[in-house]
Structure 1
Amino acid sequence: MEREKVQPCVRVAGPIIVGGGPSGLATAACLAARGFPSLVLERSNCIASLWQLKSYDRLRLHLPKRYCELPMMTFPAALPAYPSKEEFVAYLESYAAAFGVCPVLGEAVESAEYDEASTLWRVSTSSAEGNREYVSPWLVAATGENAEEVIPEIGGLPDFQGTVAHTSRYRSGEEYRGKKVLVVGCGNSGMEVCLDLCDSGARPAIVVRDTVHVLPRGALGWSTFGLSMWLLRWLPVQAVDRLLLLLARLLLGDTAHLGLRRPKVGPLELKAASGKTPILDVGTLSKIKSGHVQKQCCVGLQVFPALKRMTAKGAEFVDGRTEEFDAVILATGYRSNVPSWLKEREFFSERDGLPRRPFPNGWKGERGLYAVGFTKRGLLGASLDAQRVAQDIERCWNSEIGQ
């Protein structure tokens, strides 16, 4: 009662969904299709803020659009196989409109906890209008795996005299034209940023600390991902991995001498075990080959091993090499922020902010708590979980009214 005197308390008829990205929209749409209302809370001033506010200009879907559709709505047929970020955002806006999903924007969730006395979830928020509390029997965490930037601790980085930026602030290589840029991180974003820098007249280098799988984005008229999904219908994961690696060797050659050593575990098996996504090459590898041949890196892209430390003018690497740079871009990814606001420690891990139960069982917790967008399987995984959550809430609803 004391809390309700301090801030307005709103009883929500359906589930409270935290996050207005694809996961939250998909969950709300699946509920709406079954006739159930919901409340979507989004801290930013737009839906899909990661795509709209924190992505580079040339970003496209890394997988074909058919594998990135949300439940019950396909992409327009006229769109290319790999839609741009603007096309994807337009799809999400049309999706929300089609299912009547209207997130409350600019409403940041500060905390969410289960109240044993009322058997309700209490969600406290802040916005420009002030603080508010929402209550509901159901809570869906849909902020996803990519809610907060990961900024690693790098020795000497505060002493570096050049510019430092996370990829969430990177828009185009034009602002780095003519500069030597060190990209730290070799996932799909890091590789694509390097390609953009090369195309914009910058002189990039990339840090590849660990082993990594590089696969062609497409082959034989198929997308590599689509081919993998088809093969998995008939063959075990290890057999499909062997075929993918053979295809990569034929189309891309041996990458080890370029500083891109492959893991001992195959790409699909590694993805299932750790969530580490293989790199789908969109042209970066040819730049690396050029940089390998032209040692001064006048063209192309150099590969360096792990950083030892940053210096005032550049970087020192674990193999003893030193190099000067004008700028550093941290392509070090994102992480879940659930532990910062959800007061629950059984379902979600405090260490990484992900459900403790592995896929496909990480979507449902206890006492009306759910998770969508934490499968490490992209939009396809989020869509599957959204449908499961809506089905389960419908079941609970019907059981409570005796149907």
Structure 2
Amino acid sequence: MPRIIMKSGVCKNTESEIFRTTRIKCKKNQGSRIASLIYKRSNSVKSNDAILIFHLRKYILNGIDLVNFGYPVESTYYPGCAIIVSKEQHRPHSRVNNQNNNNYEKNSQKRSLNVNAGSGSTSSSVVNSDIDQESSSDSDKFLGSIQSSSSSLSHWLGDSCENLRSSPITWNNIDQTQTVDHYCVRCFKNFLINRETNVYITKDKCIYHWGKLRNYHNSSDSKWNCCDGDENSSGCTEGNMHVWTGITQGFNGPFDGYLRTKPSRVISWDDNYGVYALDCEMCFTKNGLEVVKVSVVDIKKNIVYDTLVKPDSEIIDYNTRFSGITESMLKNTKKTLKDVQKDLLSFISAETILIGHGLENDLKALKILHSMVIDTCVVFPHFLGYPFRSSLKTIAKKVLKKQIQLSKHDSIEDAKIVVDLLLARVEHDKTISLHITFNRFQ
């Protein structure tokens, strides 16, 4: 029988004691090996996240790009308030707009409105209306086709003047200093609202085409895909009132009610403060576009946040065809924009990377100031350059070979597609970089 001398001097001569001691040592070694494997795997995951963050940072927009692309930025002269610079963009339909511009030039010679207000500018036109439609529907929230004039009555179209003269409202009972004209983003006509209260003065019906103008062979064969009507045909859909986006051409602001994301209280060793894809659905109110649904997914495409929002202003059009939101869905909704801002800022810090398609539209609607943004409109630019933009549906079809937005828009689906597009771009650029490096050392 073997004898074991312990350090305490006590002799142990039982065989069971030997096996028990050996078994404990083996379990400790096995546990340490498992722990080391888990630690290595967690480190590899963290290192992969750090590498991904490193590659994503080169797509982040700088301060000048944020201003040029119409993102809300904090005002230097009014701290805590936001300003938005909306540059002149083309109107979506070329020949229709050319006719409107010609009517305006003819009627402007006949009419002279004595209104001391700022001056607007007419929009430019392009030949290919198919490209126009695609570029103006970058996020299908109608924010890409803003052409509201920043002045009042001096750029009033002839047709709109006739409609106003024939309506019960007359020029004599309108306080022209308190009125401003806006550009309807659906029927491309101008209408009047009160400058202070945003109450509609012009209450005409909005007759428009909800579809896109497509060129099949040449410009003379352009058809509306909603009703197969000719380019100059009257609209196939009727709205109760005209709508606008809430932003006019040129300088806008300063606006209050905006919140800036705050710096993180915890320092991340791998510089990973989170990457989230954000997408919103919006409706038309008397103050322009307002958010009605917010969806956020992480880089793994897990749903982080998804909620309906009750607009602060009176809703004019739910935009159900594109947003998928109906009146019944918002009937019992109690969450307001301030609640959503509080929820989002609880997990989005100033160092968090936000990605989206036409993300400036979402940040405007959410009234959030954030500078760490990646926009797939910039990552996948239109072949004609800015201000032309490819729609998310077009990019997903070309890059990912996926069909999206077949019936209506889903904010969660759009956010996940944005993640897939960005990851595909990162992998593509990594492959190109490795190929260039390999050829350099040949």
Instruction: Establish whether TM, by shorter chain, passes 0.5.
Output: no
TM range (shorter): under 0.3
Say which structure, 1 or 2, has more relative contact order (CA 8 Å, 6+ apart): 1
- How does the TM-score come out when normalised to structure 1? 0.28
Q: Which has the larger radius of gyration?
A: 2
- How does the TM-score come out when normalised to structure 2? 0.26
